[in-house]
Amino acid sequence: MTNPPPGNARHLDSWAKDFIDLLVTEDDVDWALPAAIHGHPELSAETSQRQAHAVHAAAMGLGHAGCAAAAGVSQSLLDRWRTEPAFEQALTAATAMAAANAPRPGQINSYGLRILLRSLARHTPVGAAAATIGLTRRQLERIRRANPTVNSLIEAAILHGRGRPARGPAYRLVHRSDSAPPPAVE
């Protein structure tokens, strides 16, 4: 993916649409790779991947809702994961590290923008998506007015989300095993 084109609004809108299309395919890659390794969807591999996304979000300064959104899980499931000592330690360390990366109140960093765009592309209302990353709708509108590139990305994500039905809970069949880890991929 290239950087956004300077100036021309029509090209910026086209670039933003392409960017959102690429962004929404990332989830498919995240879940397809463990299935390729194991030969089927594997719950423990998927959980580990989702927990890593939550820790990354915490390290980038996102709060509880942002960590849950980054992991693609509910806040109650994130709370359940926090009862696991290793995950809680990782999340606590990442949260402490966030002081260097967290945006100031009313601002957004690149990871927060990524989570916002993914939420909007999944048909989440703008106010709820903004709240997920710790912004009010008014703060988000101020950011959009000040940055045409961010505004184009948000518009493209909203349009993408309008083309999809609102998502309720999704269920997939996965394989659970307590067997030995898969062989190393060479």
Residue 60 has pLDDT above 70, yes or no: yes
Instruction: Report which of 120, 124, 133, 150 is spatially closest to residue 62, judged by C-alpha positions.
Output: 133
Q: Is residue 176 part of a domain?
A: no
Q: Identify the domain containing residue 161 by its residue range.
A: 8-28+105-166
Q: Is residue 173 part of a domain?
A: no
For the whole model, what pTM was predicted? Answer: 0.79
Residue 7 has pLDDT above 90, yes or no: no
Query: Is 114 found in the same domain as 153?
Result: yes
Residue 31 has pLDDT above 80, yes or no: no
| Count of structural domains, the chain | 2
pLDDT 10s digits, 117-147: 999 999 999 999 999 999 999 999 999 999 9
pLDDT (mean) for 162-170: 59
Q: Which of 76, 102, 128 is the last residue of a domain?
A: 102
pLDDT 10s digits, 95-107: 999 887 677 888 8
Q: Is residue 21 part of a domain?
A: yes
Query: Is 115 found in the same domain as 96?
Result: no
Query: Is 51 found in the same domain as 88?
Result: yes
Are 52 and 98 contacting, i.e. CB atoms less than 8 angstroms apart?
no
State how far the Cα of 121 lies from the Cα of 25, in Å rounded to an integer: 11
Q: Is residue 175 part of a domain?
A: no
CB atoms within 10 A of CB 120: 25
Q: Which of 78, 102, 126 is the last residue of a domain?
A: 102
Q: What share of the chain is helix, strand, coil (3-state, %, to 5)?
A: 65, 0, 35
At residue 179, the pLDDT reads: 53
